[in-house]
Amino acid sequence: MANYTAADIKALREKTAAGMMDVKKALDEADGDMAKAEEILRVKGLKGVTKREGRTASNGLVTARAEGGAGTLVEVLCETDFVAKGERFGALADEVLGVAVASRATDAESLLAADTDGGKTVKDLLDEANATIGEKIEVKRVARLEGQNVVSYLHKTSPDLPAQIGVLVATQGGDEGTARDIAMHIAAFSPSVLDRSEIAEETVENERRVAEATAREEGKPEAALPKIVEGRVNGFFKENVLLEQAFAKDAKKTVAKVLEEAGATATGFARFRVGG
């Protein structure tokens, strides 16, 4: 007869995030010894880390922290939403974010090499979590911004999941309320650049060619083509350039106008969406 209870199974699952059958097998092998069962799960899990490297991690969360004129944004991925919304995964992401802030990491590579308080690297930390949880877990992206005012904003796309969208925005002048409004706008409207100077001329010329070809296909008058093409290219800018987008809270104003009225200037932003 098994020397453990349903409560033991539940406790070990919550502690390790391992599957039901894996937990039961570990407890059977350990004759009910919780510490030994946890070690068994970890050892077996570490053996499977390499096998999981080729699997797809498309769930997870985005987490952020902004303070003292600096902000850090981190995307941590796993394979299933079950793991993504678990306390263990959330705690792991918080620990990874803390290391990212302390190490001033600006990309995933530098964060993975950074040391945790326990003396191991973030990569070691993820490998251990990979082993006990039984899913591929990875840091996908990292962003860091500095400025006079830096705010972060996290958005849940589902009440059952952790934040799936995260934003950092840096501003000069103005107040924190305005910066937060801009961050919320960025979360909703997903601009790709701050201003049009950041868009490659090659991209703009391609949009111009497509606009002209489309207008000709629609049978637009030749004389009207230049105006139509420029209108559509400007539409492309309004869709992708933060400062030229219609502001979420007042579509009659652009983001640039809102910032101007607040005496502020946006100096940078970052936006992550899980799996995006």
- pTM here is 0.79
pLDDT of residue 17: 61
Domains of the chain: 6-47 (1.10.8.10), 59-194+263-273 (3.30.479.20)
The C-alpha angle with vertex 234 and arms to 228 and 237, in degrees rounded to 5, equals 150
The C-alpha angle with vertex 73 and arms to 178 and 191, in degrees rounded to 5, equals 55
DSSP per-residue codes, 136-204: --EEEEEEEEESSEEEEEEE-SSTTS---EEEEEEEEES-HHHHHHHHHHHHHH--SBSSGGGS-HHHH
Percent of the chain past pLDDT 70, that is, above it, reads 93
pLDDT of residue 45: 62
pLDDT (average), residues 204-232:
93
pLDDT of residue 223: 93
